Amino acid sequence: MLSRELLKEALRRALATGADYAEVFAEHTRSKWIELVSEKVDAIGDNVISGVGIRIFKGTRCVSGSASSLEPSAVLQCASRVAEALADSAQVEDLVLRERIFGDVHPVKIVPGDVANSEKIDYMREACLAAREQSGEIVQTNGRIQEVDHKILIATSEGLLTQDRQIRTRLFVEAVASADGENQTGMIAPGARKGIELFDDFDPRELGRKAAAQAVTMLHAGYVSAGVMPVAIENGFGGVIFHEACGHSLEASAVALGQSQFVGKLGQQIANPKVTAIDDGTIPNGWGSVNIDDEGTPSQKNVLIENGILKSYMVDKLNGRRLGMASTGSSRRQSYQYEPTSRMTNTYIAAGEDRDEDIISSIEYGLYAKEMGGGSVNPVTGEFNFAVREGYLIRNGKICEPVRGASLVGKGSEIIQKIDMVGKNVARGQGMCGASSGSIPTDVGQPLIRVSSITVGGR
Amino acid sequence: MTYQEFKESVIREAKARKIAEYEIYYTESESTTVEIFQEEVKGYSTESSLGVCFRCVVNERAGYASTEDLSEEEAVSIVDRALANAGSIESETKALLHKKGDHYEKVSETQKEEVSGAELVETALGVQRKLYQADSRVTDGTQTYLAQGREKYALYNSNGLDLEDRAAYTQCVAVSVVKDGEEMNNGMADKMGAMKEIDIDALVAEAVEDAVSAIGAEGVASGKYPVVFSGKAMASLLMTFASVFSAEEVQKGLSLLKDKEGEKIAADCVTIVDDPRYPGSAVKRSFDGEGVAAYAKNVVEDGTLNTLLYNLATAEKAGVKSTGNASKPSYASVVGISPFTFYIKPGEVSREELFRKAGSGIYVTSLQGLHAGANPVTGDFSLAASGFLVEDGCKAKPVKGFTVADNFYALLKKVVSVGSDLELVHGRVGAPSVLVEEITVGGK
């Protein structure tokens, strides 16, 4: 992408005013999405992103700059502009860049860019048609296939030169059911760090049927009444509860600035002893997986909480300096235009020992959250809110009628104490996580869990 | 190569492929952002970005491709990619390019402020110091962001349109964190405009008050209450549901405002305005994402839906004229529809009068989880909220950790009274405080 000589010169310029660390991040990304509305191709986006982001550190002070160009003059200009923000002068010694190849544990069989639109359209259309045919109440379907071929290069004043190519594909199928002027939606959206071979993992008709079934179920659901109750949260995307309520507060970006409920709690019991939580960027072909993070550090499996005890934060280089901690390979950025910071990869609650049937039968009156929607959290207070996409009431230990309009509201540090039953079957679900360094692919996950009491919003 | 050279190459490639109808959309921006943590500069960043989108219309179907790589090779590639994509489109919506002939309002040149990086840093440090001085409970975690930027939008098409808008802005965001015993709260305030017009003392007071006033907040009992939404809270709700006014969402069946033009959809006291050159907004535009002249309009007037928001394609389908609301959030975006500065027109009643009218109820100052807990297709929302109790017609103690749930369409009709205190969020969406009858609150 950029020559070794150019990278060395850019780093030299960036260091010229006294920085003690400099980093060049270059990117060339092709992305494409194809959207079907009611089984017909409605729009296609087809984009190339190309540019450079340069950072320098002096102690814990960071200066950064970016430019939408990989032309040598633009890269060098960006480096000089960044250096100008520091006033000192410095003698920069000759840099030696040594290339490191960390390997790729995420094989891609079919590069999306090599496949014609028509093949992708046929697959998505089949999924949408299956949704349509599922029920006469389905009035619309939306399908979307999204692919990214993200090439990155990182060179630092520590002498590191490394590259990665991240290919990801995701399929969205949404069904809208309508009756008596009311609409409800159902959605399924699997993705992986894979190419078009992702099609082999899912029968398109099955995707369509699932989305439609969810929409129809929710269309005939009544509203849940608000209150405090025990909730059983299903595996897979249910893990968004941990992601939102705790994961963000374990990012060094929040911890280093004192904006986290878990500051100073390493080694302490912060969760129910049943809870072990992991952030693992090394899962082969995982949606949130990376070979190297966006500072060039190899990704690793980080145990965050073990049997309720806080073991580790997720740390990037800059916040690592503030905390006196080494990077955990957790630095991520959406693109060269964002400054990287500590983020999650594939985050999940590990398997426990409770049987699913025991979890359900333990609840006299409560909510079974089969599919969660998205959510958000205030990292300072840990207060969160997330939507239940598909929920059912539990009465006398049995899953009963579906309910709509439910949301779960609580505080992260309290909820993880209340996870008092943890099932055996971990599944992961895909999401896009938004924060200061942009929108990045992350997996959430867990087995079926029970939260002994939580505020359920409804009407 | 420069944009001008790239544009000429693209035009040449389009002609070589005998593409009769096409458009080149270009944006560039430059910005500097300063971030203060404790009493130090935590971050300082400069950004220069640009991008080009090529859109061709072939057999009435639009194909898109975009790039940031202004090279001869990419000029060829985006034309080829857009052409191939146009060939895959099956939508029956007729894609259109705008023709010459509109009158474009001259956008008053935003005061070009050449504030140096050093001045930006000094100003931001000053805001941060004032945050700490404002209240002894203000603690670390408190941050100030100050950004200054310039943007340029250009649109060229094969019908001979060749337009350009320029804008400059300064934005200051103050985030306060306060600690009272073991309890921590945060607050935020954000202002946009020319640097010298930003009232820093007011910004600081608002950010700190936002955090301090929530100290000691408790839960509320579940039930149905009259609710006063603050301007900020109401604006965030309006922003979340703004898409229901889009003709595209309506035509796709994703908004319940189908066939509602000319009908009452809200209480008589509700007027909703869309203005591309609202005086309080930093970015003022003369043309929309398709080159149609942008103008101010009442979307809802005294409760009646005057018009949906249209771009060329949806207007053609409905047999009306575009309202100049074609949007391209980024240069690469497919043409969509969105309002410019979208706000509920303030009434004549003070906020205190709204509290008096509510008698006993809840004053909601903040709503969270809007991207997840609100469904624009159905209008349903169930959102985490915080605010204050209203007792005996006055603002009383702080409350948090509850949910408010209702339906946006129903809520518009349940507005009892509209306050006079318009608040604008990010210069994009605004509302005064609003009293709404009976909303379901989930709490203890």
A128/A262 same-domain check: no
B362/B256 same-domain check: yes
In a domain? residue B307: yes
B328/B423 same-domain check: yes
Nearest CA in chain B to A228: B444
Do A274 and A266 contact (CB within 8 A), yes or no?
no
Residues paired with A47 in a beta bridge: A31, B66
The C-alpha of A102 sits at a distance from chain B's nearest C-alpha, in angstroms, of: 28
Question: What's the CA dihedral at B109, B113, B117, B120 to 10 degrees?
Answer: -110
Domain count, chain B: 2
DSSP B293-321: BP--EEEEETTEE---B--HHHHHHHTS-
At residue A409, the 3 state secondary structure works out as strand
For residue range A115-150, what is the model confidence (pLDDT) as tens digits?
Answer: 999 999 999 999 999 999 999 999 999 999 999 999
In a domain? residue A91: no
Residues paired with A395 in a beta bridge: A365, A398
Domain count, chain A: 2
For residue range A4-62, what is the model confidence (pLDDT) as tens digits?
Answer: 999 999 999 999 999 999 999 999 999 999 999 999 999 999 999 999 999 999 998 89
A184/A231 same-domain check: no
DSSP state of B237: H
Q: Collect all residues with Cβ–Cβ distance below 8 Å to A241 and sequence separation of at least 6.
A: A233, A372, A375, A384, A386, A408, A415, A446, A451
Query: Residue range B38-51: average pLDDT?
Result: 91
The C-alpha of B105 sits at a distance from chain A's nearest C-alpha, in angstroms, of: 31
| Chain B residues with beta carbon closer than 8 angstroms to that of A28 | 69
B304/B226 same-domain check: yes
In a domain? residue A62: no
| Chain A residues with beta carbon closer than 8 angstroms to that of B88 | 34, 41, 44, 117-118, 121
Residue B109 clears pLDDT 70, i.e. is over it: no
Nearest neighbour of A456 by CB, restricted to B140, B141, B442 = B442
CA-based R_g, chain A, Å: 24
Query: Residue range B214-227: average pLDDT?
Result: 93
Nearest neighbour of A184 by CB, restricted to B41, B85, B378 = B378
Do B259 and B271 contact (CB within 8 A), yes or no?
no
B200/B261 same-domain check: no
Would the CB atoms of B401 and A47 count as touching at under 8 Å? no
C-alpha to C-alpha distances, B53 to A340, B28, B297, B407, nearest whole angstrom: 27, 12, 29, 38
Query: Residue range B133-149: average pLDDT?
Result: 93
Nearest neighbour of B186 by CB, restricted to A62, A380, A409 = A380
Exposure on the CB side of residue A347, measured as CA atoms within 13 A: 27
B375/B393 same-domain check: yes
B430/B310 same-domain check: yes
Nearest neighbour of A140 by CB, restricted to B67, B141, B253 = B253
| Chain A residues with beta carbon closer than 8 angstroms to that of B67 | 47-48, 50
Residues paired with A228 in a beta bridge: A455
Would the CB atoms of A455 and B254 count as touching at under 8 Å? no
Task: Pick the closest to residue A446 from A430, A423, A416 (CA basis).
Answer: A423
A242/A303 same-domain check: yes
| A407 vs A93: which has the higher pLDDT | A407
A345/A208 same-domain check: no
Alpha-carbon gap, residue B307 to B257, rounded angstroms: 10
> Token digits for B44?
């300082």
Task: Pick the closest to residue B179 from A411, A312, A321, A263 (CA basis).
Answer: A263
Q: Collect all residues with Cβ–Cβ distance below 8 Å to A457 and sequence separation of at least 6.
A: A226, A385, A406, A407, A408, A409, B373, B382, B383, B384, B402, B403, B405, B442
Would the CB atoms of B81 and A46 count as touching at under 8 Å? yes
The C-alpha of B253 sits at a distance from chain A's nearest C-alpha, in angstroms, of: 8
Alpha-carbon gap, residue A181 to A361, rounded angstroms: 37
For B84-222, where are the E strands, in sequence order?
143-157, 162-180, 183-193
Query: Residue range A94-102: average pLDDT?
Result: 89
A183/A267 same-domain check: no
pLDDT, position A386: 85
B176/B286 same-domain check: no
| Chain A residues with beta carbon closer than 8 angstroms to that of B66 | 45-48
B223/B287 same-domain check: yes
In a domain? residue A288: yes
In a domain? residue B200: yes
Would the CB atoms of A81 and B375 count as touching at under 8 Å? no
At residue A14, the 3 state secondary structure works out as helix
For residue range A176-209, what is the model confidence (pLDDT) as tens digits?
Answer: 999 987 888 999 999 999 999 999 999 999 999 9
Q: Are β-strands B423-425 and B415-418 bridged in parallel, bridged antiparallel, or unpaired?
A: unpaired
> Token digits for B355?
């509290």
A177/A311 same-domain check: no
> Token digits for A252?
């060094």
In a domain? residue B52: no
Q: Which of A318-332, A369-383, A432-446 has the lowest mean pLDDT?
A: A369-383
Would the CB atoms of B403 and A67 count as touching at under 8 Å? no
Nearest CA in chain A to B440: A459
Query: Residue range B196-212: average pLDDT?
Result: 92
B145/B294 same-domain check: no
pLDDT, position B112: 60
| B200 vs B375: which has the higher pLDDT | B200
In a domain? residue B105: no
> Token digits for A394?
């539990």
At residue A171, the 3 state secondary structure works out as strand
Alpha-carbon gap, residue B171 to B281, rounded angstroms: 11
In a domain? residue B109: no
B316/B408 same-domain check: yes
The percent of chain A in helix, strand and coil, each rounded to the nearest 5, is 25, 45, 35
* Letter string b/e over residues B364-388, b meaning 16 or more CB atoms within 10 A of that residue's CB: bbbbbbbebbbbbbbbbbbbbbbbb
* Letter string b/e over residues A359-387, b meaning 16 or more CB atoms within 10 A of that residue's CB: bbebbeebbbbbbbbbbbbbbbbbbbbbb
Which ranges of A169-278 would DSSP assign to H, the alpha helix?
A: 204-219, 240-242, 252-255
A119/A241 same-domain check: no
Residue A374 clears pLDDT 90, i.e. is over it: no
The C-alpha of B108 sits at a distance from chain A's nearest C-alpha, in angstroms, of: 29
Nearest CA in chain A to B2: A69
In a domain? residue B106: no
| B420 vs A183: which has the higher pLDDT | B420
Q: Which of A244-253, B85-94, B363-372, B391-400 has the lowest mean pLDDT?
A: B363-372
pLDDT, position B108: 67
Residue that finishes a domain, picked among B181, B197, B212: B212
Would the CB atoms of B65 and A373 count as touching at under 8 Å? no
| Chain A residues with beta carbon closer than 8 angstroms to that of B68 | 48-51, 68-69
In a domain? residue B112: no
CB atoms within 10 A of CB B131: 27
Residue that finishes a domain, picked among A182, A199, A220: A220
Residue that finishes a domain, picked among A220, A243, A259: A220
> Token digits for B422?
């318009």
A342/A207 same-domain check: no
pLDDT, position A382: 79
Residue B111 clears pLDDT 60, i.e. is over it: no
The C-alpha of A352 sits at a distance from chain B's nearest C-alpha, in angstroms, of: 28
For residue range B312-367, what is the model confidence (pLDDT) as tens digits?
Answer: 999 999 999 999 999 999 999 999 999 999 999 999 999 999 999 999 999 999 99
User: For residue B189, what is the domain's CATH number?
Assistant: 3.30.2290.10
A206/A341 same-domain check: no
Q: Which of A47-51, A168-172, B140-144, B246-250 has the lowest mean pLDDT?
A: B140-144
In a domain? residue A425: yes
Q: What percent of chain A has pLDDT over 90?
A: 86
Q: Show the domain range for A202.
A: 115-149+166-220
Nearest neighbour of A374 by CB, restricted to B65, B371, B380 = B371
B331/B352 same-domain check: yes
In a domain? residue B141: yes
The confidence band for B110, taking pLDDT boundaries of 50, 70 and 90, is low
User: What is the amino acid identity at position A456?
Assistant: V
Task: Pick the closest to residue B435 from B364, B329, B369, B375 (CA basis).
Answer: B364
Residue that finishes a domain, picked among A204, A220, A236: A220
Rounded to the nearest integer, the mean pLDDT of chain B is 93
Residue A257 clears pLDDT 90, i.e. is over it: no
In a domain? residue A203: yes
Largest CA distance in chain A: 75
Q: Collect all residues with Cβ–Cβ distance below 8 Å to B129 and sequence separation of at least 6.
A: B39
C-alpha to C-alpha distances, B345 to A17, A81, B9, B265, B427, nearest whole angstrom: 52, 44, 47, 16, 15
Q: Collect all residues with Cβ–Cβ distance below 8 Å to B362 and sequence separation of at least 6.
A: B220, B225, B226, B227, B228, B387, B388, B389, B390, B399, B402, B404, B441
pLDDT, position A379: 67
A405/A427 same-domain check: yes
The C-alpha of B367 sits at a distance from chain A's nearest C-alpha, in angstroms, of: 10
Q: What percent of chain A has pLDDT over 70?
A: 100
In a domain? residue A84: no
Q: Show the domain range for B133.
A: 117-151+164-212
B368/B246 same-domain check: yes
Best probe of the A interface among B46, B70, B371, B381, by most A CBs < 10 A, is: B46
Query: Residue range A224-230: average pLDDT?
Result: 92
C-alpha to C-alpha distances, A453 to A121, A249, B18, B260, nearest whole angstrom: 45, 21, 66, 43
pLDDT, position A378: 76
